[in-house]
Structure formats: structure tokens, C-alpha cells
Structure 1
Amino acid sequence: MNTERTTQLTRWLKWLWLAMMLAIAPVTQASAADSELGSYQILLEGVPGTGGLSYHLDFYDDGTVNIEKRFNGQDHIETHQYLRDGQQLVIKPLAGGAIKDFDHANLTIIDEENIEVALNVAGSELLLLEKDVNFTLFRWHEWQAKAHILLTLVVLIALNELFRFVKWSGFAFFIGGAAFCTVFVWPNQGIVYWFKWAKIYSVVAASAFFLLMRFTPVYKYRLAKLFCVAFLAINIAEAVAQDFSMGLIPNLLNGVAGVLSIATCYYGWKGIRADDSPQKDMVWPKMTALWIIAYDVWNFAYVYLNFPASASAQLMVIIAATIPALWIKPGTWLQARAYTLAAWFMFYFTFTNFYERNLWIFPRNDTLTYSIAALSLVLNIACVVQLVNFYKNRTKEVATA
């Protein structure tokens, strides 16, 4: 009876998760501006602890420009006036406006796809890294951005299946490909934030280690299994630290949810192993659908609150690991999460400008941020309750044995 009830609950949670993801996806930014100049956007790095900064500008032929700025837990949308003199643009200050970033800026149209910007202020005034006071605004095409985000999901799921079914592909991609890009590609992409470098190499290393777990006897060792749990817990802890450093109420709620996720992630870790299938998948049989869904919501909330411009892409990355784990091969979530996250980071580091040019930015407001953070906390509290019940049932079984 308990097994049947658990199966029904798992099935219900799967469809609930799918409904939540589909509900989130359509809530996106407005269409591109219909004008000669059009729409432009850029992602920049704030100083540590502030999260990511994004600008989205829609230029209109009537001399107005709609500016969207998302940064440090705040969202501002204002309409300014602009003047064009040949290839030069000047955005006029708005009396009483919150967005003053372009008040002293020089904007130069390079071509139809790029506008060079010099803010002409110190980075410290805007909480920006000094390298980011001069940047290029990229032309934003709505159809291209939507296709990019949706293809991210399709390609990541396809890559995960490739790595499952073709043994050598994972080694070639995560070891050979990463080594090649480390020498010839990634140093030239202008990425300086240490956290991003630490993130890419940690997930690539984890992916390579999971290949060893699958195809060698490494999985038999207790320490190897503990490494799998540690990889997961440390990655959550890094994000929790960012949430707490922001200090806003939604971030704090989500930070607490992350702590609970760490506290419950270890359940069943001794069962991590390579299974007997032809693919030799690394499975974690006791990882529950509830924990995966709670993690997904927490992770999306983390990105949405701290790096809002990347939320749509990261939603696809999150889903790309969960679909295989819930519908294709149960028990493989951690393997799929490492593979898809590492593949996405490698794509981002290799095609940085393309990625930033083609983001589909989600809007934010207090209702959305509080709701998502609260849902994250509730689901992770449910994981704690589930874990307590597991141990209670185990105690009863031992007592009656």
C-alpha cells in the first residue's frame, strides 16, 4: 500500500512540476521595438555580492527610448528621450528618474547589430566592475532569442542522451573539448569573474568523475559516493551564500530553502552506483521526485533573484536534467544535471557574445519574487517532512522485525 501511494504521489509530482514550468515559460519580455534602431541588450557583472546586471533598450522613431535595468534585486523601467546625430546617440537624463547610468554616456552606432557605449563614470558609482563601464550593446531579435532558448533545452537533452549511449562521447567532450577550449578559446572571451571560472571547471570535473563512476569500479568506493553528494551540496552552498549576501527578503527565504535542500540531499547516497543497463548509467535510486522538484524551483528562484537576465536560459538547463530523470531514465538526475550544466557552461564560455545577444528576459516584480521564493521554501520544508517520515517508517520496520 505504501509503495502504491508513493508511486501515485511521484506521478502527481511529475505532472505538477511540468505544469509549473509551462506556467513560468510564457511570462517573458515584450516584443522588440518596431523602429529603425530597434532593441538592444547586454549583461554585465556587478561587484561581488550584487548579482548580474542587465540593460535592455528599445529605441523608437519618435525620439524615445525605453530602458529596462535589472540589478541588485531592483528592477527599473523608464522612458527617456534620445537625440541622434549621425552615428552618435545621446540619452537625456530623466528628472526624478532612477536610471542615471546613461546620463553622461556616449553611444556610437557601429553597425545595425552593435552600439558601443562609454558610460563615462567610475564603475564604483554603479557597483560595476571597472571593465564594464565600456561595453557593446547587442541588437536583440525576438524570434532569434526565443529559438535560442528553446533550442537550449532540445540540444541539452540530446547531448545527455548522447553521453549516455555513446561511451567515448563524454570523455571527448568533457576532457578533450574542455582542454582545447581552455587553451584556445575561453581565455579570449573577456570573462573575469572568478565564480564563473570556478563553476565551469567544477561541473566539468564532476562530469568527468561521473564518467569514471559509470565505466570503472570507482563507484564501489564509499569515498567516491560521498564525492557525488559533496559536489551537489557544495554547488547548492555556493548559491546560498550569494542569496544571503543580497540580503533581500526573497533572497533570504530562498537561502533558507537552499540550506534545507543541503540538509535533505544526502538521503540514499549509499545506493549511488553504476547500474546494469547497457548504458551503465550512474543512478541514485532513492533520490525522490519531490526533492528534484524542490531543487528545481529553488535553483530557478536563485537565478531569477540574482541573475534575472539569465533566468530563461537557466530554466531550460534545469528542465533538461529533470525531463530525463522523471520520464526517460529514473534515478539519473545527478548524472543528467552534471552533464547538462557542464555542457551549457562550455557553450556560454565559448559563445559568450551570442548568448548575451539572444537572451529572452523574464520580467520581475515583488509579487513574482516573493511567490517564487515562498514556493521554494515550502517545497524544501516538504522535503524535510518527507525525510523525517522516511526515518520514522524505518524505525517502525526495525522495531517490528
Structure 2
Amino acid sequence: MTPLNRWAVWRAAVALAWLLAGTALAAQLPEQGTRDNYDLGTYQILLEGVPGTGGLSYHIVFNRGGSVYIEKKFNGENLAETHSWTREGDQLRILPVQGGVINDFDQATLSVLDQDNIAVSLNVPGESLKLMEKDTEFTLYRWYEFQAKAHILLTLIFLVALNELFRLVKWSGFAFFVGLSLLLTVFVWPYQGVAYWFKWAKIYSVVSASVFFLLMRFTPLHKYTFAKLFCVGFLALNIAEAVAQDFTMGFTPNLLNGVAGVLSILTCYYGWKGIKADDSPQKDMVWPKMTALWIIAYDVWNFVYVYLNFPASASAQLMVIVAATIPALFIKEGTWLQARAYTLAAWFMFYFTFTEFYERNLWIFPRTDVLTYSLALLSLVLNIACVVQLWEFRKQRLARQQPAAA
């Protein structure tokens, strides 16, 4: 093994050690606002709405004085309300509020399983709340603030380290995306409770793309036009899927971000003919003409998409997004698409393998109308800037051609 390869393996090992150590430490520390201040503490859950409505999250704080604070983020709404709660043995009840905006728990049965889990049955049809029927019964997970935030931040470190490992050690990518994914497909993923077909389609599409990009790097595949078109098509299709979701939601911030996504598709093709495996020892798949502005505009658009449609996942997805941008802008220019596929596929594999751990340790960002409109406008402005940039590139190219024609 070369010194570079040993260095890559060492960095990946250190990142993994930090992840495990941080999680273990977090589990031992009391978080602010639970054990000392509240009777039951803070709980939350991420659920799936019916197609087209995005993800639903509840963040619930049971106060010792008999009040319970409920935050609900779903389908463009950001609701918060204080109710009363009662307890008899292990049975809880969240009392209705006359004229309240959150009535999801008015008929619900809540049973304390242990200090970290509360079983919930809403006792209403899923369609009445725009929920998948399977999600009318679920478990509220105790939320530990330090552990959740450590999990999210360490996700970034771990993904950046993995990307470097896949760059510097040739066999590691094939072992991870082919060997490990096949083993997990057979022995782990079917038993993690992931039912939504789109998530299954997503994981196998990004894992397959990662394998394809490995072949682009280490075989003559990168010389063929159809292979380069596949790279552009993969990127455009992934953007289009999100744009469709934004337009389906139909709220003004979603529509603004949807238009930004359309502009991202229209500008993503720039320089695609230059996609290749470079001559470096790592044989990186590079897209030399992909601009930093386009990458940043894409990052903002993608984050806003998740923030609007799946708010509970926004913090984790921000780390996944940034994990591809850091190496592309600061470690090896031109490698963004390669890094995006590797980090996204690795994160999906983590999610499918440790689904409950992930859902227990979500850090739900605050969301208000001011934030949603501001971020959606920023996304649109940045993607308009990409259109302007391409127009300037075209003018410069035509200007260079005119003297030659004369």
C-alpha cells in the first residue's frame, strides 16, 4: 500500500472512531431540557405523508407542570401549540385545545414503553391527516440534543473522509458500493422497516451511479460520448424528481424553488463533453468546466428543496450536500459530480442500515414563513445568476470566433 493509500485509510479510520466515540459520549450526557427540567422529556418522530405532501415531523416536549408543547411541520405548515397532558401509570393522554390547530392527538392512545420510547396510536384514518396509513401507529423517540447534533456534524466528517478513501484507494469503492451493498441488500435492508418505494429506487439509483463513475475512472468508458451523456442525464433526472415534488406541493416557496430547479437543469450541461478520467494517480472523474457558482446554486436549491418538503431531514441533508462541495472546491477541482454520487450513496446506505438510529437523532431546524420565502428567493436568484453566467460565456465564445471568421 502506498503512503497516499495508507493516509486515506488512516483518515477514514479516525473519522469512524470519532463517529463512534461521539455517539457513545452523547448517550451518557444529559441534554438541556430533558432529564432535569421535564417529567418525560423531549420526543420526536419523522413520518411519511401521502405522495406529494412531503415528510411530517412532530417535536413534543412534555413539561413537568402538566403542559406539553407540540411542533408540527408538514405540507407547507409550521404549527406550534401548547396542550395539557395527563398520565395514569404508563398511559398518557394529550388533551384537546378548543379551537386548536394541532388536533392530531385528540383521539390518540400513548403508552410509555420505557424512558426513551412512547408508543402512539392516533386512532384516526391516515387520510384524515394526509398520512400514510402505516404511520398512524408509531413510536415517539426520546430526543437527546447533544447526541443528535453530534450525529449530524459527524456525518459531514465521515462522508468527506469516505470520499477521500474512494478517491485514493481504488478497490475501496468497488468493495463498498458493490460488495457491501449486495450483503446489506440480502441481510439488513429488507428488515429495517423502509417501505416507501421511492427511497428504494433512490438508493439503488445512486449506488448504481457510483459504480458507473468508478468504471468511468478505471476503464476506457470515459472516452465514450454516451457515458458522458449518462453523467449529465443522471444529474438532470435527480434534479427533475425534486422539481416535480416542489411543483406538486404548490406553495409559493416551493414554486419559486421549483423554477430554480428548472434553471439548474437548463444550466447543468455546460462543459459536459469535457467529462473524463484525469491523468492523476487517483484517476478522478472530472468535469473541468463545472463552475463554482453552479455548484453553490445547486447546493442552495437542493437544501431548500429538502427544507420545504422534508424539514426533519434538512440538517442531515445539508451535511450530505456540503460533503460533496468541500472536496470539489477545496481538495480537487472538477470532482463534484463524483463526490456527490459517492457521498449521497454512502449516506443512503447508512440510512438503510441504521434507520432507527438516524430517526432518533434528527436535528430539526426551525422553519418559518420568513425563512422559507427568503431561502427560496435566494435559490432562484443564484440559479438566475447561473443563466447569466452561461450567457456571458456564450458572448465571450462568439467574440473569440469573430476575428477568426474575419
What's 2:196 paired with? 193
C-alpha separation in 2, matches of 1:260 and 1:195: 24
Answer whether contact 1:32 1:140 (CA < 8 A) is retained. Answer: no
Is 2:317 aligned against 1:305?
no
In structure 2, the CA distance between the partners of 1:136 and 1:36, relative to structure 1 (3 Å rule), is same
Q: Counterpart of 2:321 in structure 1: which amino acid?
A: I
Is 2:333 aligned against 1:333?
no
Is 2:240 aligned against 1:218?
no
Q: What is the TM-score normalised by the length of structure 1?
A: 0.92
What's 1:19 paired with? none
Q: Counterpart of 1:363 in structure 2: which amino acid?
A: P
Is 2:275 aligned against 1:269?
no
What's 2:97 paired with? 94
What's 2:123 paired with? 120
Which range is displaced more, 265-274 or 34-43? 34-43
What's 1:52 paired with? 55
C-alpha separation in 2, matches of 1:189 and 1:399: 61
3-state SS of paired residue (1:363): coil
Q: Counterpart of 2:316 in structure 1: which amino acid?
A: A
Q: Counterpart of 1:231 in structure 2: which amino acid?
A: F
* Pairs within 5 Å for 1:287-306: 287-306=290-309
C-alpha separation in 2, matches of 1:31 and 1:400: 69
C-alpha separation in 2, matches of 1:31 and 1:96: 32
What's 2:245 paired with? 242
Question: Of residues 67, 70, 74 in structure 1, which corresponds to 2:73?
Answer: 70
What's 1:16 paired with? none
3-state SS of paired residue (1:39): strand
Structure 1 gaps, min length 5: 1-29
Question: Of residues 296, 309, 318 in structure 2, which corresponds to 1:315?
Answer: 318
C-alpha separation in 2, matches of 1:152 and 1:192: 24
C-alpha separation in 1, matches of 2:328 and 2:403: 34
Is 2:138 aligned against 1:135?
yes
Q: Deviations over 1:365-396 (max 9, x none)?
A: 11100000000000000000101111111111
3-state SS of paired residue (1:58): strand
C-alpha separation in 2, matches of 1:400 and 1:292: 33
**Shift of residue 36, structure 1, vs aligned partner:** 2.7
Is 2:229 aligned against 1:229?
no
What's 2:13 paired with? none
Q: Counterpart of 1:289 in structure 2: which amino acid?
A: A
What's 1:356 paired with? 359
C-alpha separation in 2, matches of 1:204 and 1:32: 39
Runs of 4+ off more than 2 Å: 30-34
C-alpha separation in 2, matches of 1:317 and 1:325: 13
In structure 2, the CA distance between the partners of 1:54 and 1:31, relative to structure 1 (3 Å rule), is farther
**Shift of residue 35, structure 1, vs aligned partner:** 1.2
**Shift of residue 31, structure 1, vs aligned partner:** 5.3
Number of residue pairs aligned between Structure 1 and Structure 2: 372
What's 1:370 paired with? 373
Answer whether contact 1:32 1:141 (CA < 8 A) is retained. Answer: no
C-alpha separation in 1, matches of 2:54 and 2:335: 31
Which range is displaced more, 42-51 or 177-186? 177-186
What's 2:43 paired with? 40
